[in-house]
Structure formats: C-alpha cells, structure tokens
Structure 1
Amino acid sequence: MRRTTTFGLLAVCGLVAGCLGQPQQREQDRNADATEFTLTIVANAVAGGKNSRGANWLRNWVIPRFTELQKAKGVTATIEFEQNGAGDEDYKTKVALDLKTGGGGDVVEIDGIWLGELAQAGQIRPLADVVGNTDWDGWEQIPDAVQGLGEFEGKRYGVPMGTDGRVLFYNKKLFAQAGLPANWQPRGWQDVLDAGAKLKTLPGVTPIQLNAGTAMGEATTMQGVLPVLAGTGKPVYDNGKWQGDSAELKDVLGLYEKIYGGGLGDPVLQQEAKGRDRSFQLFSENRIGVLLEGDYFWRSVVEPRNGVAKMPDRDTAVGWALVPARQPGAGVGGQDFVSMSGGGVRVINPNTRYPRQAWEFLRFLNSAEAVKESLAGTAQLTQRQDVNDEVLEGDPMLTFVAEKVLPITRYRPGLADYPKVSAALQQATADVVAGKSPDEAARAYRAALVRAVGEDNVG
C-alpha cells in the first residue's frame, strides 16, 4: 500500500512539476510551433463610426498584409477584428470583464490611463511574463519617455500605439504688438507672467489661458495642473502616494492665483460649459495671447482648412514653446522644461492560446510600415521616431513636439483612483479662480483627496 501511494505521488509530481525529468512547458511556449492559428484584436473602433480610420486600417490593411506574410512562411493565420463603438468607460468595463473571466481578444487596445488599474487587478501581466523574450528592434525607435505609456511600476506591459504632447501656443501678431519676441521661449513661470503683463496692455486681449475649473473637466488637469505640477519637480503620484497639500501644489495654485487674480486670465471663461471651445475660438480671433494645449490644437483646432476654429494664417501667426519648469532645473528629473502626454497602448491577453504569435502580431502592428500606413496620409505624431522623421518633415510644429517634447514628457498615473484625484484638482483650481487663497484651496483639496483615496494613500 505504501509503495502504491509513493508511486502515485511521484506520478502526480511528474505531471505537475516535471520532477521526473520531463520539463513542464512554459506558458510562453504554448503552441509556439503552430502552423495554423487564430488571433482576435479588440479595439474601440468601428468602420463608419468611432475611430473609423483605425478600424479601416485594421480591417483593410493590417489583416490582409499580416496573413499574407504568414502564408509566405507556410503558416495559416486567421485574424479576427472585434469592432466596438462604445463610450470609453463602457469599453473599459467590457475589456476588464472579458479579461477577468478569462476571455477577450488576444491583442487588446486600451487607453494608457487604464494600464495600472488593469495591472493591479491582475487582468494584464508584464509582457515578458506572457510572451517570454521581448527583444525587438522597434524599441529603439520609441523614445524612453513614450515607452512609459506602456509601463507600470517599472515593468513593460504593452506597446504604445501613439501619443501627443503639450506646449505653450502663442499668438505672434499679439506678441509683436506687445513688443514680445517672435521666437519666444520662457525659461520659468515668471517669464510667462511677464509676457502676460505686456499682453495685458492690448485692448480686448486675454493674456493667458490656463485651463481651470470643473466645467473643463480633464482638460483642466491635463492642460493645466499636471504640466505645471511637473514643473515643480514633484508628480501628482510618487512612491505610492498621491500628492496632498504640499508646498509644490500650493505653488501651482499660486500660479493660478497670479493669472486669474491678477487680471491675466478670464475667470468667467473657466466656468462656462463650453469654455474650452470658447478659448479656441478666441485664440483664432487674436484675442488670447498664450494658451497651454496639446498638439491637437495645431492639427485639428486652428488648422486652416478643416479646423474647428480655423485660422487661415496659422502657419505664420501661431508660435509654440516648451512649457518651462518653475525655474530652470526645477522640473521632474531636474528638467528645465516639462510636458504631459496621453495615448493608447496595445497589450496581450495573458489568456491567449498563442502568446508567441500574438507578440509577432503586436510587433507587426507597431512596425514602421504599419504605423505609417495607419496615418492614411495625415501628419500626426506616432510612437515611432523613424516614422515621425518621415511623415512630419513638412510640419515644423509637430516635428518640434516629436523632437523636443516627447523625450521629456510624462503620463498620468494609470490607477483606478486617478479620476477622483483629477476631479479634486479641478475643484482646487476652481476655488482659486473664485477667489480663495492657495492655502485654503489646498486644504480643501487634501480633505477631498483623503475622502477619495484614504489617509494612508496621501503624501
């Protein structure tokens, strides 16, 4: 009886752990030599609807091209495209549920801001854990800062699928009238305020537009608080803590006070439901001097032919500059200049039956050929520097972002609590615009933050 039991235990040991000399197959090696496989890519895009260009690219170029390349290697590949046209939060809920229940596509497109939340929930895993060897010559073409979009707590989870950058746009015509230089580049916050003081002498002109308040929502956080906060050297989330009513946050709110309490910005505009859109229109009408925005403003808002606030003389009338730190060297990482970026990430489902093939497909999706094709002839920033060098050659503003901004940019912390933190930051700026002191607004912000994330999570 004892001999039988021992044999049974050894047999189980052999099956489970390979302890009888039979090596256990690693998860990354599942179906590695398959000559026929099926992969599904999931994206919040639908032909003729939301993100139609991306859907058409996947359906009409990526899938035929990839399957053709596989066929040339003697492999039969079937790529299925699961289209979605839902709101971002609904799409996020669907993706999270699919991953949690062991389903979902093999390659999934997500907003970069969801990455940490999905990672913390165990719904996605580090790329190397899923596919093994992640060597790829494409990494060399993606700036380290941009790679950060697909990283969480020092581990790489996916490949960025595009990004953007934030700069200070300024109206060269108004600058000329105020005696300011056409090639303006402030070196600190005071330089921005000094330029605003000169622009204030021009009738009917709002010198500076720095998004504030709750009506502008996330635009306040991304085109206002976070880049300015990065200029103090302390990001909003650091070492596992959310920044509370710190000296750095008070400095940020102090800058808001100088702009909106000092007559350099329009406080009423910050409370309007369509305030951001209104600021676009005012800039295009030569009535705002300086505006902190993303490159979207250049290519889609004041674009001379198809922009939402067309500016026929955009190419000569609009200037751009890096966002300065509070003073030289005071930014995150000791930087003189800072920026914030957003963008999407493609990740591989840990439940995929074909991890190696999914990694090959992911590399193809982010190859120079595929990324260039995804643009459909438009000039837009991509994750790849080699593609940017080619497609942005005729656009000096986007080239500036690719070369000067992307290497220094930062991303929002992709954590579940971030939206609540963002809302609290928006309210803090609203309080200052409404007349509260930076100290009062900071105290109220900390109290809201503690309620949202807990005392132990506030620094």
Structure 2
Amino acid sequence: MRRLWVAVLVGTVLGWSATAIGEAISLTVTARAVRGGVNSALVQWLEDLVFPAFVQWMKAQGKDVQVEFIQFGGSDEALKQQYALDLKVGKGADIIGFDGFWIPEFDAAGLVKPLDEVVGPQVWEWEGWAYIPQGMREILGYKGKVYGLALGTDVRVIFYRRDIFEKAGIIPAGSGLRWQPRSWEELLNTARYIKKVLPDVIPLQINAGTEMGEATTMQGWFMVLLGTGIHMYDFESGKWYGEHPGILEALNFYKTVYIDEGLGDARLQLIPGARARTFELFRDGKIAMLVEGDWFWRSVLAPGSEWAIPNRNEVVDWAMMPAKEPGAGYRSQNFVTISGGTGFILNPNTSHPSEAWALLSFAFSREMQLEFQKIQPRIRSRTDVPVVGDPVMSEMAKALLPYTTVRPMLPGYPQISYQAQLVTERVVSGLMTPEEAMAAYAEALVELVGPENVIRKK
C-alpha cells in the first residue's frame, strides 16, 4: 500500500490517536461475502487493500493489529440467525456486515447498540461525517441513532429517452440541453404533449401494483408520496399515515396518469412479468419516461444485459423527480428520492471498540472508498466519492444524496409495503376510487399495527 496514504491518513482521517500497548490486537470482520463467490468484490477490497493499509497505519501508531475476514456464503436469513445466536452469547466478529432492516429487531432484543454507545462520543470526531448526509446515516439508523456506516446505496430518478424528446421537439436535437420538471404539473404536461404528438409512445410509466413488489413501493409509491410532503411513516409521532391529504394527492396522481388521461399503460403494471416487459419497452423506445433506481442505468441498460441499449449514453438521460410543487416535498424539498443499502455495524461485545471503530472508519475514508470504486463502482454513502468511470452515476449521487431518505426501519414495514403496492393497484386497475382505496389502506394498517399507531382523518 502506498506510503502516501499512511501519511495522509495519520491523525486526520480517523480523528483519534492510538496509544501503544504491549500485546497484539486481533480484529475480525464478517459479512455475506466469499472470494470468488457471492459479493467477491467486497472480500477483494477488504483483504487486498483495506486490511494491509490499516495494519501498516496502526504499526506507525505503535500498535500491533491483525485483521481477519470471516467469509459467509449462506443466505441473508441464515446470516441473520447466526448473528442473533452469536450476539446473544456475547460473541461474533468485531465488525459485522448488516442490513438496516434488522436493526429494530436486534435493538429491541438488546443485541446491538449505536456507535457512540459502543465507542464513546469521540466517534463523532471522525472527518467522514461531514460527507455523509442524514439520509445516508438513516440507512443503518434507528430512532435518531446511528448504528453503523452504509457501504453503498442507490437513488431513484426519472429516466427519459432523449431521442423521443428530440423527436417530439421538447429538446432541440444536438443542443445538449436537458429536461427537468419543477412540479407534477410540468411532468404531466410533458407526458400530455408526448401523447399528443407521438401517439404510439407510452409517455410515462411509474410503478404500481403488487406484481412489481417492492419496486412499486420504492420506485412508485414513495416517489409520488414524498412529493406531497409526507413519508409513509411519521417519525415524530411514531405512527403510520393511513389517511392524509398527501395520500389522496398521491393516489389521484396515479389516477390521472393511468385512468383519467391514459398517460401510462395500466395493464403493463399488472401483467405477469410486468417489470421485465417495462424494461423491454423502454429499450425499444416505446416508453418515453420511466421512474426507476440507478440500478436501471448501471445494470439493466448496461452492456451485456438483455435490455442493453448500445448507444445508451446518447439516447438516455435522467431528471430528478419533482415535488408536487416547489418546496412542497418531504422536508420542504423541491425534489425527492429514496435510498436503500447495507453496511457495517460494530459488535457491542467487541473487546477492542476503539480499534474496531478505527478500522471501520479507515475503510470508509475517502481514499479507501475510492479504491473500492475501482473494483465495484456504485453510489457510496460519502458525497465526496464519485462513481469511478461513470460520470452519469457520479452526477446522480452528487445531486440526489442530499435529498434522499430511507424506508422505515421497522419490523412491520414489509407487510405495510405490500399494502402500499395494493393501494396503487386498486386505483390504477379502476377497482377503487382514490378515496375508497385510501380507506381500505388505513383499515389494513389498523389491523397490522393497531389503531393507536395509525394516523387517520378526524
């Protein structure tokens, strides 16, 4: 590892200084990753780059530290069960690869603790916090506390076909100008115009229905609902929104797109294999605008995929999803998005909390994260880490990480997410009016979490 890194990192990256001790320290890290198998890039990065550099850095501080990665190739559920068994008896690796969805359950059982309770208040002295927005902290957070660091994340945007926009005259051909709606009305007006001048093109698809699964919740429901100013969950009161003007506005948006004006194809959201069919139609230039995650760009449309577009960079562009009106979005934002992701937490049973935090924060330094980008480029939790080799992804990260939020990290979320998918399906299929669908949604929430945990109209 280059000595330059050691010189740069000493005393600056970690925000603490180690003191020499007379015995060797052994640290372990585990995650669902196997060299040559699942998440192989993670093992490569840690074992070949992070660990050697960290050991060298600690040696310069007078500490003899050895680090080992414990590979796990089983399922996520098997790993979760192993963690529960280990933590209950005070064992397990010092640093643990963790899914944010597990934190509420493990916290309720007293098995995990926030970073500052494991390490102490000095954890907040790390320079990296200045580059990790609140939304990124929430990926491995719960009830306002931060339990770990998110390794990678994603964002959601409106992907659009530049060639269709140019053909319709929305963007002058060859101008390099970009389209960016500032409100729902501007977005809908664009869709209306495309329908008028290019009747063979589906203007706008935004995910709805149970066939799409969680893609409906994340790429559809959240992207509309956040634009009304609310989340699915009110973090202040600790209650789920069951009936609210924002929910009705969101459902009416779906009704406008799929029922009233036919700006999207409702059947396409409900048929078996709906998502794959949507990808196919976008690839073939039959869909003008599609709300999707950045995975759509870096995987679905990328070379080698069955939906790849050879001249992707010339004919595909993206725009931020606007709030209903400027300033009307969640947290009074002009634009909205939502992220998911996994990362690492500290084992509260570690015998070396300071050194474990030193290793974790070292791995999440800008220098080490940039090295990971060379192996597996994607959006990272730090805003100062671009996506190497992909300026489009880098631009998305820079523009959208400050706007992002996360799903409620609560045990009841999966069932409520399904109800969100169902409420959109009832509207886009014409089975219920938005008012009827909202009432049914609220009743389902009451059954799932109890009336005391649901916000309803007075």
Using the size of structure 1 for normalisation, the TM-score is: 0.87
1:84 positional shift: 2.0
Q: How much does 1:377 deviate?
A: 4.6
User: Take 1:216 and 1:96, find their aligned partners in 2: how far apart are those partners?
Assistant: 31
What residue is the counterpart of 1:160 in the other structure? 150
Find out whether 1:456 has 2:444 as its counterpart. no
In 2, the alpha carbon distance for the partners of 1:209 and 1:100 equals 46
- Select the structure of larger CA radius of gyration: 1
Instruction: Rate the CA distance shift 1:100–1:178 in 2: closer, same or farther, 3 A.
Output: farther
Distance 1:419 1:32, change over 3 A: farther
Which is worse superposed, 253-262 or 70-79?
A: 70-79
Q: For 1:386, what is the secondary structure of its paired residue?
A: coil
Given that 1:380 and 1:398 are in contact with CA atoms closer than 8 Å, whether structure 2 keeps it comes out as yes
Unmatched 5+ residue regions in structure 2? 1-18, 172-176
- Counterparts of 1:207 and 1:114 in 2: how far apart (Å)? 39
Letter aligned with residue 89 of structure 1: E
Q: Counterpart of 1:49?
A: 37
**Distance (whole Å) between structure 1 residues aligned to residue 442 and residue 38 of structure 2:** 38
Cα distance, 1:165 vs. partner?
1.1
How far has the Cα of 1:90 moved from its partner?
3.4
Cα distance 1:68–1:263, how it changes in 2: closer, same or farther (>3 A)?
same
- Residue in structure 2 matched with residue 263 of structure 1 by the alignment: 262
List gaps (5 residues or longer) in structure 1. Answer: 1-30
Amino acid at match of 1:225: W
Residues 256-303 of structure 1: per-residue CA shift (max 9 Å, x gap): 111111311122221233211221121111111111111111111112
- Quote the offset at 1:378 in angstroms: 5.0
Determine the C-alpha separation between the residues in 1 that align with 2:216 and 2:22.
50
- Please tell me whether residue 243 in structure 1 is matched to residue 241 in structure 2: yes
One-letter identity of the residue aligned with 1:96: A
Q: 1:443 to 1:129 in 2, by over 3 A?
A: same
Structure-2 change in CA distance of 1:93 and 1:204 (3 Å):
farther
AA in 2 matched with 1:172 = R
Pair 91,250 (structure 1): closer, same or farther in 2 beyond 3 Å: farther
The one-character-per-residue Cα deviations of 1:381-431 (angstroms, maximum 9, x if unpaired) are 21222222xx44x63422321221001111111111111110110111111
Deviation at 1:99, TM superposition (A): 2.4
Distance (whole Å) between structure 2 residues aligned to residue 401 and residue 179 of structure 1: 25
Alignment partner of 1:109: what SS?
Answer: strand
Aligned-partner SS, 1:39: strand
Matched residue, 1:421: 416
Q: Which amino acid aligns with 2:367?
A: E
Q: Identity, % of aligned pairs?
A: 44
**Which residue number in structure 1 is paired with residue 81 of structure 2?**
93
DSSP-derived class of the 1:414 partner: coil
Of 224-233 and 154-163, deviating more is 154-163
Is the 2:20–2:61 contact (alpha carbons within 8 Å) kept by the matching residues of 1? no
Instruction: Specify the alignment match of 2:204 in structure 1.
Output: 208
Q: CA RMSD in A?
A: 2.0
Aligned residue number for residue 312 of structure 2? 314
Q: Displacement, 1:69?
A: 2.9
Deviations 1:332-357 (A, max 9, x none): 11111111011113110111111111
Whichever residue aligns with residue 163 of structure 1, its letter is T
Pairing partner for 1:234 from 214, 230, 234: 230
| Superposed displacement of residue 115, structure 1 | 2.9
Looking at structure 2, the residues matched to 274 and 97 of structure 1 have their Cα atoms a distance apart, in angstroms, of: 38
Amino acid at match of 1:285: D
Q: Distance in 1 between matches of 2:20 and 2:355?
A: 7
Q: SS at 2:344's partner residue?
A: strand
Q: TM-score, normalised on structure 2?
A: 0.88
Aligned partners of 1:32 and 1:355 also within 8 Å: no
